[in-house]
Structure 1
Amino acid sequence: MADPTTYRPAPGTIPTDPGVYKFRDKHGRVIYVGKAKSLRSRLTSYFADIASLHPRTRQMVTTAASVEWTVVGTEVEALQLEYNWIKEFDPRFNVRYRDDKTYPMLAVTLNEEYPRLFVYRGPRRRGVRYFGPYAHAWAIRETVDLLTRVFPARTCSTGVFKRHRQIDRPCLLGYIDKCSAPCIGRVSAQEHREIVDDFCDFLAGRTDLMIKRLEREMSTSAEQLDFERAARLRDDVGAMRRAMEKQAVVLGDGTDADVIAMVGDQLEMSVQVFHVRDGRVRGQRGWVVERSDDDSAGEQVGQFLTQFYGAQVDLDATVEIDDDRVRGESIPREVLVGDLPADHEELQDWLSELRGSRVSLRVPQRGDKKALFETVTRNAGEALAQHKLRRAGDLTTRSAALTEIQEALGLDQAPLRIECIDISHVQGTDVVASLVVFEDGLPRKSDYRHYSIREAAGEGRSDDVASIAEVTRRRFLRHRADQAPDDSGPTDPTTAESPSTGGSSATAAGVGGDRGAASSVAVIDEADTNPRPGIDPTTGRPRRFAYPPNLFVVDGGAPQVHAAAAVLDELGITDVSIVGLAKRLEEVWVPGEDDPVILPRTSEALFLLQRVRDEAHRFAITFHRSKRSKRMTESVLDGVPGLGHTRRTALVTHFGSVARLREATLEDISEVPGIGIATARAVRAALGGGEQ
């Protein structure tokens, strides 16, 4: 445990200006980011008596090894810079308002020639407009089913759309007039886009004008004795009204507002947001997060608004739709909260700047808005109670598992960062390895790595011990290189590893972020401009492997453990504990011990080690299958006339496997860049297929 007085800035050196500060640990990682009206007043509070600090704050200041700050001109700039740094560095001690579940949304693919409506879960994609989130997917399908009668837009997948275009016959929805059937040319691309635009306008809340327009057209058709069209318009108006009735009117004056309520205790806090558009609840979201420190309710509201609306604007920027109305859907005209932060005027100005028009931030005092806020507060309280019932054992279990591992292995501290490696091959061919990382008992997939083994020994068989030694050497040579002050990187060619996201696209480049706001401010701490071990001088961020794990786990028994331990001894690394987990009896092997450590079958420590080992095995198997599939595809295609290495690589990349390539038609194969129809025929012949 570090002593905060060892890195406390000298008295009088901290400015009294507004600014943003960050704490770093001994490895250079940013572990906390905050903002303050007066940097001196705020930072001095962290160096008071440790016993008087909130437990989480106390843990943060004793984990940190340095503090630095940046002065800004206004508090609005501080808000923006704080959000950018939290997004860029992902500090472990900052409260991150991430959803505890994936909410379904209604997606409209405006980036396609014929836009499509469908239910979607997951990250937002460019060129797609989203409505929601909704509490249930069935609510979206029910709404779409009602509205496609009025707005017959396409809802089919790309495959179905292409198939019906080929057979020149619409699907069932086209026959019952719930789709305008653009697949067979019943409407043009422009006409179909106009239908989709009207659909989006309706869901965005511009309903009254649309209903009035349809009613006028209905009256005109009746006067012209076109009773069939008038009846159809009447049914359309009825369908639109039924869709609107499913969204309860909570604010009769057609208010656009977000109602935000927070309920918490000493450890956790529940946040609920109701999105009200045109007086109706259009969506609802909720979070349960750990409380960071003793911040007041107003300060917690300010932190949430900064992160929530900053992220919303970032998501809107990926949509690539040049429409100010879309931005207005993310940031409403009113934000209703339970407590105002001290800098609420600056926060209000910042929100107004993001929206492009005035935003009101206030506490509801009376009437319908007060009643709705009380409803949202009750929802937040119920969500917190349900979370505690559902997750009561989760945090306790993880803490207990880490403590048990510490006690069973005689470690100096609980292994907050665990890394595990596993080898995968088939009879010594296509040998690969994986490295997975768990922090605080949870996987950190952005730090996962793949390795292609180039030093595996043996003829016709695999030498797992040599592979374990190679991967261990490459991982810790990278650690030693990343700790160096310069950015030269490793010189040994065996140290190059393949970064892999494990489901995240941020691995190789680190967590992205807009640092434009930081470039216009003055840096007070001059040490920030000097090279520091483990810090990339070009980005100012810690290198991924500049800090070692507390526990290094290898998949195997005594030989594998001894091989990894010998590598660490060779490199002079003494602050990493190594164990091996053997699959047969789940023994835990420790270097230098003749007998393994036997953990009880019901032990939470054993369960966590098994999770780490199984994740490494899964990750290695996935990479091995991919590599083997590409090799098999290339070997099958050897000798095909006109097909060299470049074209084989293009085919492998395009189709991914031999099975998919065998199923491809001549037309599909000839669509690959560089592959003509003659070469496609040769490929089909090599794979045992005829012309299609």
Structure 2
Amino acid sequence: MLKERLKKVPLKPGVYLFKDKEGQVIYIGKAKALRNRMRSYFQTRDKLDPKVQAMMARVADFDYIVTGTEVEALILENDLIKARQPRYNIDLRDDKTYPYVKVTIGEKFPRAVITREAKDGVSRYFGPYTDVTSLKAVLKVLAEIYPLRTCRNLQRRQRPCLNYDMGRCPAPCRDKISAEDYREQVENIIAFLEGRHHPIIKECEKRMAAAAAGLEYEKAAAWRDQIGHIKKIAAEQKIAFDTPYDLDIIVQIAGERENLLLVLRIRGGLVSGKEFFWLKQAIDEKSSEVIDFFIRQYYDNSQDIPREILVNQLPDDAELLESWLSSQTGRRTRIKIPRQGDKKHLLHRAEENAAALWEEKYQQSLKNWNALLHLSEVLQLEVIPQQIECYDISHLSGTDTVASLVVFTDGAADKKAYRRFKIKNEQNDDYASLRETLARRFQQAAEGNPAFLPLPDLIIIDGGLGQANSAQAVLNSLEADIPVFGLAEKKEEIWIPGSSEPMRLKARDEGLRLLQRLRDEAHRFALQHHQARRSKKLAASELDEIKGIGAARKKALLKSFGSVSRIRQASRESLAAVPGMSKGAAAAVFEYFHPETDNPHLLNNDLS
């Protein structure tokens, strides 16, 4: 059927899309001649690469889009892959182990925040940083010397927030600082993050000396400690060369199933950041096509594109990419392999970094893959379970039932795909909660919600035969052909729906250990949620004791101040400035936390 349709595909440039039996796009490719390229996939199975065989076993349909030129096909392919995120295309996964500092330069009054989230294409990012404690301490110092706003939404307020009272915010919301002066603060922080640490260290030393001269030894010691934190952060930005190079180095290491891309950013001769990304091996991509894809993704909408990019593997369309990068910056950007001198030495240094990282990470990746192969054998699965979902139903004190969904991709936790479901069914019934969760999850997928795609290769339920049977019943009703098993914690038994006896694997079995890690991660994810809910309830309960503070005011106070401890420190004026708070309600809150005085004016922080 599909081979007959292939005869009608034109011999023109374009993009082709392979779909599975559910109609989901699982692979997107580009071609100079569509029919010839697509026909190569429909050869006899023994002529295909094993990875291609695995994909073609799922292909039930195809579509294609004709373009005017091969360049148009390249651009369209890039856009479609980003929009559809097919499972068999290159999967770009950055490492989120370490945090970055994000400066939101796209805003009129930017913020500097710690983040582990994906880059938004508008802000500037610095890092990653390995010493998180020192990073937080340094940002605290920067906030004292060059204070910026911390609120997420800059809205005009009747009064500045508590941070302004404490000297930690210049209050742009009340025009207490001009846009020009604020921008200067931002530029000073960016200069520090780019590696120019000396002015900040000098300012800290000046404040330390002033504190010591005033016999404020504790304050002087605190400034001494802050200087130590700054020097720790500075140690992560070594001098690269005497020449103040501004360039990026991209090193690629290609394996059988994955590629490692390491990016070393050099600004003003300093290493200003190092990032690495794992790219799941695409079906038919050469190494030169992988780095081509990566450069397009990495610099798309970037605010920090250098004049020069050094690589150890030239992309296929290097000249086209240079033109595209140059069009974004308004100046020429070159991509090249250095052949001699300092830049070759610098590339070699980056390759050494990448090789060490590859050895460390790839060994774990290989171990995970072997566990998946073994698991597919012992559970007699038709495909290797590259994506596994695990469901856990939990309660907070018998109420607030929540279902947790965790995902392992290629044997490792895929935290971006984790989800929680607040159970709507008020019955305290785990089976009913599980049925509701699965029905909602697959309904989201049926509606095309990318957060719930692709569908898993395997589903694990935290529980025994009853839970496994309930899950199977839902999948049957949805006509979802996905294997499901229950994992009972007490004896680590694996239950197959409809069976009378469980499957028992040896305690050291690598497949069982993988399932245990998955189940334990589901427990951790559920526990994290309940602990957060419990803390929130405890915090809110203290405000419940205050007369005149109902649910709306309680919510507004916590939203404005973030915690009960910060509400406790607030002045009457700051409390009254919260939307929905009257002067009387503010007085009630203030006096609740300060019962030691009968004269409220003695505690008015804003009176002289």
Same fold (TM over 0.5): yes
Contact 1:629-1:656 at 8 Å conserved across structures: no
Matches within 5 A, 1:195-274: 196-197=186-187, 200=190, 246-249=238-241, 252=243, 256-274=246-264
Return the alpha-carbon distance in structure 2 between the equivalents of residues 296 and 547 of structure 1.
Answer: 25
Aligned to 1:609: 515
Aligned to 1:422: 392
Aligned to 2:54: 59
Equivalent position to 1:19, from 14, 17, 34? 14
1:349–1:18: structure 2 CA closer, same or farther, 3 Å change rule? farther
Return the alpha-carbon distance in structure 2 between the equivalents of residues 197 and 653 of structure 1.
Answer: 29
Return the alpha-carbon distance in structure 2 between the equivalents of residues 141 and 165 of structure 1.
Answer: 20
Aligned to 1:94: 89
Contact 1:430-1:628 at 8 Å conserved across structures: no
Return the alpha-carbon distance in structure 2 between the equivalents of residues 165 and 451 of structure 1.
Answer: 38
1:635–1:165: structure 2 CA closer, same or farther, 3 Å change rule? closer
- Residues 603-628 of structure 1, C-alpha deviation per residue, up to 9 Å, x if partnerless? 23332333333333333344445556
1:666–1:16: structure 2 CA closer, same or farther, 3 Å change rule? farther
Matches within 5 A, 1:103-252: 105=100, 108=103, 122-124=117-119, 129-132=124-127, 153-154=145-146, 193-194=183-184, 196-197=186-187, 200=190, 246-249=238-241, 252=243
Contact 1:110-1:129 at 8 Å conserved across structures: yes
* CA-CA distance at 1:576 after TM superposition: 4.4
Return the alpha-carbon distance in structure 2 between the equivalents of residues 126 and 651 of structure 1.
Answer: 33
Return the alpha-carbon distance in structure 1 between the equivalents of residues 95 and 518 of structure 2.
Answer: 22
Matches within 5 A, 1:243-642: 246-249=238-241, 252=243, 256-278=246-268, 281-293=271-283, 295-310=285-300, 313=301, 316=302, 327=303, 330-389=304-363, 391-404=365-378, 406-407=379-380, 411-426=381-396, 428-457=398-427, 463=428, 466-473=429-436, 475-476=438-439, 479=442, 534=446, 536=447, 541=448, 549-565=456-472, 571=477, 573=479, 575-624=481-530
> 2:299 is paired with a residue of what secondary structure?
helix
Aligned to 1:7: 2
> 1:584 is paired with a residue of what secondary structure?
coil
The residue type paired with residue 575 of structure 1 is D
Return the alpha-carbon distance in structure 2 between the equivalents of residues 140 and 353 of structure 1.
Answer: 35
* CA-CA distance at 1:350 after TM superposition: 1.6
Return the alpha-carbon distance in structure 1 between the equivalents of residues 3 and 329 of structure 2.
Answer: 40
Contact 1:259-1:336 at 8 Å conserved across structures: yes
1:69–1:440: structure 2 CA closer, same or farther, 3 Å change rule? same
TM-score, length of structure 1 as denominator length: 0.64
- Residues 121-175 of structure 1, C-alpha deviation per residue, up to 9 Å, x if partnerless? 6545798543455787899999999x99xxx95389979xx9997578x9xxxxx
> 2:401 is paired with a residue of what secondary structure?
strand
The residue type paired with residue 34 of structure 2 is L
Aligned to 1:41: 36
- Residues 18-54 of structure 1, C-alpha deviation per residue, up to 9 Å, x if partnerless? 3333322222333222223333333233223433333
* CA-CA distance at 1:93 after TM superposition: 2.0
Equivalent position to 1:28, from 23, 27, 51? 23
Contact 1:417-1:549 at 8 Å conserved across structures: yes
Return the alpha-carbon distance in structure 1 between the equivalents of residues 79 and 396 of structure 2.
Answer: 46
Aligned to 1:215: none
Quick one: percent identity of the two aligned structures?
37
> 2:394 is paired with a residue of what secondary structure?
strand
1:415–1:158: structure 2 CA closer, same or farther, 3 Å change rule? closer
Contact 2:148-2:185 at 8 Å conserved across structures: no
TM-score, length of structure 2 as denominator length: 0.71
Comparing 643-652 with 296-305, greater Cα deviation is found at 643-652
Return the alpha-carbon distance in structure 2 between the equivalents of residues 275 and 374 of structure 1.
Answer: 14
Aligned to 2:209: none
- Residues 243-280 of structure 1, C-alpha deviation per residue, up to 9 Å, x if partnerless? 9x952327x5x654333333434444443334344566
Return the alpha-carbon distance in structure 2 between the equivalents of residues 641 and 258 of structure 1.
Answer: 60
> 2:275 is paired with a residue of what secondary structure?
strand
* CA-CA distance at 1:678 after TM superposition: 1.8
The residue type paired with residue 33 of structure 1 is I
* CA-CA distance at 1:306 after TM superposition: 1.8
Specify every segment of 5 or more residues in structure 2 that has no aligned partner in the other structure, as ranges: 152-160, 200-230, 604-608
- Residues 622-660 of structure 1, C-alpha deviation per residue, up to 9 Å, x if partnerless? 444555667777888779765566445545666788788
Return the alpha-carbon distance in structure 2 between the equivalents of residues 57 and 266 of structure 1.
Answer: 13
Aligned to 1:319: none
1:586–1:205: structure 2 CA closer, same or farther, 3 Å change rule? closer
Contact 2:89-2:283 at 8 Å conserved across structures: no
Return the alpha-carbon distance in structure 2 between the equivalents of residues 164 and 653 of structure 1.
Answer: 14
* CA-CA distance at 1:472 after TM superposition: 1.0
Contact 1:335-1:360 at 8 Å conserved across structures: yes
- Residues 457-488 of structure 1, C-alpha deviation per residue, up to 9 Å, x if partnerless? 4xxxxx4xx33224314523663x568xxxxx
> 2:240 is paired with a residue of what secondary structure?
coil
The residue type paired with residue 249 of structure 1 is F
Return the alpha-carbon distance in structure 1 between the equivalents of residues 465 and 318 of structure 2.
Answer: 61
Contact 2:251-2:313 at 8 Å conserved across structures: no
Return the alpha-carbon distance in structure 2 between the equivalents of residues 450 and 49 of structure 1.
Answer: 44
The residue type paired with residue 247 of structure 1 is I
Contact 1:118-1:155 at 8 Å conserved across structures: no
- Residues 215-241 of structure 1, C-alpha deviation per residue, up to 9 Å, x if partnerless? xxxxxxxxxxxxxxxxxxxxxxxx9xx
RMSD: 5.2
- Residues 481-520 of structure 1, C-alpha deviation per residue, up to 9 Å, x if partnerless? 568xxxxxxxxxxxxxxxxxxxxxxxxxxxxxxxxxxxxx
1:166–1:127: structure 2 CA closer, same or farther, 3 Å change rule? farther
- Residues 429-477 of structure 1, C-alpha deviation per residue, up to 9 Å, x if partnerless? 33333333444434444554434445444xxxxx4xx332243145236
Specify every segment of 5 or more residues in structure 1 that has no aligned partner in the other structure, as ranges: 1-5, 171-179, 211-238, 317-326, 458-462, 484-533
The residue type paired with residue 392 of structure 2 is D
Higher relative contact order (CA 8 A, sep 6+): 1
Asked whether 1:676 is paired with 2:591, we answer: no
Comparing 40-49 with 286-295, greater Cα deviation is found at 286-295
